[in-house]
């Protein structure tokens, strides 16, 4: 009798342990999910989540060193089929363009690297947390698809290829590699502590 009670008790303990492990697993997944969403949308519902996301993606830099900001994000204009999807940095043709953050080159080439002829020669770099940066109207591309680049590493020279009225770098921050997922790049960079 006493043996049976002991046996039943340990089975209950085992079930409780399994339930606890399962609960911990679910909790961790939920926290990770919230962090990724916050980084992608810049909307951080909890201060703790935003701090964690910022730390993980620290050390961003401007894509060109000396520039004048020209056309801004979401600006309307007859140059664009929809509102402007990035921020323009006015720089002379041949200005060094660097990776705004470390990552892997996922697009590089003419025709907007697949995003359309309006972009001219373009590069897209994949970073962590569902963030991508895009560089367009380049006169020369110095990276290839699959190449890993560090923050501030030379990737290209600026230009005026594609749908452009003068030399400048068109810069986008995207939540996917593709056109249509851009967020405000100046707000994003400032959120990373970069002076723009
Ligand atoms: Zn532009």
Compute the distance between CA of residue 51 and CA of residue 5 in angstroms, rounded to an integer.
50
Q: How confident is the model over 166-192, as pLDDT tens digits?
A: 999 999 999 999 999 999 999 999 999
> Same structural domain for residues 52 and 107?
no
Q: How far is the CA of 184 from the centre of ligand 1 (A)?
A: 12
Domain presence at residue 27? yes
Q: How confident is the model over 46-75, as pLDDT tens digits?
A: 444 444 444 444 599 999 999 999 999 999
Q: How far is the CA of 58 from the centre of ligand 1 (A)?
A: 25
Q: How far is the CA of 192 from the centre of ligand 1 (A)?
A: 21
Mean pLDDT over all residues of the chain?
80
Q: How far is the CA of 123 from the centre of ligand 1 (A)?
A: 14
Query: Residue 144: which domain range?
Result: 68-191
Task: Give the max Cα distance, the chain.
Answer: 90
> Same structural domain for residues 73 and 49?
no
> Same structural domain for residues 18 and 92?
no
Query: Is 122 within 8 Å of 86 (Cβ atoms)?
Result: no
> Same structural domain for residues 80 and 177?
yes
Helices assigned H by DSSP within the chain: 2-41, 47-56, 185-191
CB under 8 Å to 167, separation ≥6 — which residues?
90, 91, 92, 93, 95, 137, 158, 159, 160
Domain presence at residue 130? yes
Task: Give the CA angle between residues 159, 142, 161 to the nearest 5°.
Answer: 25
Task: State the total domains in the chain.
Answer: 2
Residues constituting the chain: 196
Query: Is 108 within 8 Å of 141 (Cβ atoms)?
Result: yes
Residue 195 C-alpha from the chain's centroid? 17
> Same structural domain for residues 44 and 110?
no
Q: How far is the CA of 121 from the centre of ligand 1 (A)?
A: 13
Q: How far is the CA of 93 from the centre of ligand 1 (A)?
A: 15
Q: How far is the CA of 22 from the centre of ligand 1 (A)?
A: 48
> Same structural domain for residues 184 and 101?
yes
> Same structural domain for residues 156 and 102?
yes
Q: Return the SS3 of 172.
A: strand
Q: How confident is the model over 105-138, as pLDDT tens digits?
A: 999 999 999 999 999 999 999 999 899 999 999 9
Domain presence at residue 196? no
What CATH number is attached to the domain comprising 137? 2.70.70.10
Q: How far is the CA of 182 from the centre of ligand 1 (A)?
A: 12
> Same structural domain for residues 77 and 173?
yes
> Same structural domain for residues 120 and 161?
yes
């Amino acid at each position: 009798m006493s043996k049976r009670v002991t046996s039943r008790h340990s089975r209950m303990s085992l079930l409780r342990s399994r339930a606890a492990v399962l609960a911990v697993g679910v909790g961790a997944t939920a926290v990770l999910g919230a962090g990724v969403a916050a980084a992608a949308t810049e909307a951080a519902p909890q201060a703790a989540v935003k701090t964690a996301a910022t730390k993980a993606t620290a050390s961003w830099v401007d894509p060109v060193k000396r520039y004048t900001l020209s056309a801004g994000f979401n600006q309307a204009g007859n140059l664009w089929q929809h509102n402007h999807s990035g921020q323009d940095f006015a720089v002379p043709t041949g200005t060094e363009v660097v990776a705004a953050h470390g990552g892997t080159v996922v697009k590089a080439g003419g025709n907007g690297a697949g995003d359309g002829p309006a972009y001219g020669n373009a590069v897209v770099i994949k970073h962590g947390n569902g963030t991508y940066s895009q560089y367009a109207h380049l006169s020369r591309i110095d990276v290839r698809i699959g190449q890993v680049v560090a923050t501030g590493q030379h990737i290209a020279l600026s230009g005026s290829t594609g749908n452009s009225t003068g030399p400048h770098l068109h810069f986008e921050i995207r939540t996917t590699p593709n056109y249509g997922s851009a967020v405000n790049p100046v707000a994003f960079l400032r959120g990373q502590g970069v002076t723009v």
